[in-house]
Amino acid sequence: MTELREHLHGLWLPLVTPFRDGKLDETSLRRLIRHYSGQAVDGFILGATSGEGMTLREGELERLVAVVRDEMASGRRTLPICLGLSGADTARLKDRLDETADWPIEGYLIASPYYVRPSQRGLLAHFEALADHAAWPIALYNIPYRCAVNITNQTMLRLAEHPNIVGLKDCGASREQSIALLRDRPKSFRVLTGEDANYLEALTDGADGGIVLSAHVETATFAAVYAEAKRGNHDAAQARWHEVAELTKLLFTEPSPAPAKYWLWRSGLIDSPEVRLPMVEVSSELAATIDREIERRMKVAA
């Protein structure tokens, strides 16, 4: 497998996990991989928040990775895979690292421990213990509004010194903190935004890319925003961003990934909009709004 640090840039897709009748829908999963492997996507995150990873049952996560890798092997393009992991027990997460050590992945995306609210010393010790133990590189996932704890920049810069910690999905919800981190980080430490609505803003501030759920839709446009921003063509990037900015709000009107799954189902990419409790499918009101938006975009494209 390739070195994750070299590939942790551009547009990454936190892939939804398709279900049907309570089971992993491998047919739809293969269809998704065929479709997005042909798009300007730079990597996949599997089994994380957007992939409903915390609801995946024993064996499903491994099967998810195997199917994705198999489908890419039979296609024309292979993309790096990061496996989403989360938990509040360092020892149990080390066990998960052992269990996945020989899986065909390039690395992990690991969120902060949720609910227990460790101190910064606790976060430092937690992530260093995982990085020391992991067979694959780790990207950190800072999302304090889900985990109830923020990885401060002081802690982040300490962690960035670890050779097996290569980057960050930044959902810190503080532009000031993000800008300071981008200024002070080691050159080899990659920072990708995970806030869809702030995608262009983060790229303008110097982020290396984004992990963007909304890029399941209008993928080429999200990729074009990145390309134009990296070329320094701010006006062109802004123009392309204008095409999808409202989309990043619509797809989070109700808890994600239900709206994106509904859109993908209506577009024929997956066979069911099914999600797993405690997530529920979109309301009839939002479904009608998404239907109208799909129809509008189809008319514009025609």
Whether residue 1 is predicted with pLDDT greater than 60 in this model: the reply is no
**pLDDT reading at 218 higher than 50:** yes
Domains of the chain: 2-301 (3.20.20.70)
Distance between CA atoms of residues 298 and 90, nearest Å: 47
Cα torsion for 130, 171, 58, 73, to the nearest 10°? -90
CA atoms within 13 A on the CB side of 158: 14
What is the mean pLDDT of the segment spanning 220-233? 98
* Residue pLDDT, tens place only, 96-122: 999 999 999 999 999 999 999 999 999
User: So which residues are the catalytic ones?
Assistant: 141, 169
Residue 10 DSSP label: E
Across 139-157, average pLDDT: 96
- Residue 171 to residue 232: CA distance in whole angstroms: 24
Q: What is the pLDDT of residues 5-61, one digit of tens each?
A: 999 999 999 999 999 999 999 999 999 999 999 999 999 999 999 999 999 998 999
Asked whether the whole model's pTM tops 0.75, one would answer yes
Burial of 179 (0-12, 13-18, 19+ CB in 10 A): middle
User: What residues form the annotated binding site for pyruvate?
Assistant: 50, 211
Residue 44 has what pLDDT? 98
Give the per-residue pLDDT at 75: 86
| pLDDT score recorded for residue 112 | 96
Alpha carbon distances (Å) from 224 to 30, 75, 213, 263: 25, 23, 16, 21
Q: How high does pLDDT run on average in the chain? A: 96
Average pLDDT over residues 266-271: 98
Q: If pLDDT is split at 50, 70 and 90, which confidence band does 2 have? A: very low
Query: Ramachandran region of residue 137, left (φ > 0), alpha (ψ -120 to 50) or beta?
Result: beta
| Residue 125 · residue 132 · CB < 8 Å | no
Q: What share of the chain is helix, strand, coil (3-state, %, to 5)?
A: 50, 15, 35
CA angle (17 as vertex; 15, 18 as ends), nearest 5? 125
Which value, in Å, is the radius of gyration of the alpha carbons in the chain? 18
- Strand, coil or helix: 170: strand
178-209 pLDDT per residue, tens: 999 999 999 999 999 999 999 999 999 999 99
Mean pLDDT calculated for residue range 242-248: 98
Q: Does the pLDDT value for residue 247 go beyond 80? A: yes
State the average pLDDT over residues 123-144.
Answer: 97
259 pLDDT band, cuts 50/70/90, is very high
Per-residue model confidence (pLDDT) at position 58: 84
